Amino acid sequence: MTEFESIPAPPDVSVADVVDDPLFTDVTDGGEHYTQYTIVNFVYQFGNHPQGWTHLAVVRDRAQQLHEAFLRVIGRAIEESYVLPVGE
């Protein structure tokens, strides 16, 4: 079994270096709630994360509030996300 790795994102890596589109929609409450977010920057890149996340990013909602989000990036596209509520 390969160990989980957490690697800080280099400060010179831009969002465009990782994904084609920094805008994504997070779906919560069993598909009842859709929220659009924009990636501001990446904080960590993960290797072998137990839940399959590949990155931790700072994201901004439409109200300009900042959040942290776990992302699964595959082929330069955001396949899945989990945005942490403010204060967690």
pLDDT per position as a tens digit, 62-86? 999 999 999 999 999 999 999 997 7
For residue 44, tell me if it sits in a domain: yes
Percentage of the chain modeled with pLDDT above 70: 97
Question: Binning pLDDT at 50, 70 and 90, where does residue 32 land?
Answer: confident
For residue 88, tell me if it sits in a domain: no
Spatial CA neighbour of 36 closest among 77, 72, 65, 74: 65
Helix, strand, coil in percent for the chain, rounding step 5: 10, 55, 40
Judging by DSSP bridges, how do beta strands 23-28 and 33-47 pair with one another? Answer: antiparallel
* Amino acid in position 60: R
- CB neighbour list of residue 50: distance below 8 Å, 6 or more residues apart: 4
Determine the structural domain holding residue 79 and report its residue range: 5-83
What is the value of pTM for the model shown? 0.89
Question: Binning pLDDT at 50, 70 and 90, where does residue 26 land?
Answer: very high
For residue 53, tell me if it sits in a domain: yes
How much is the pLDDT for 25? 95
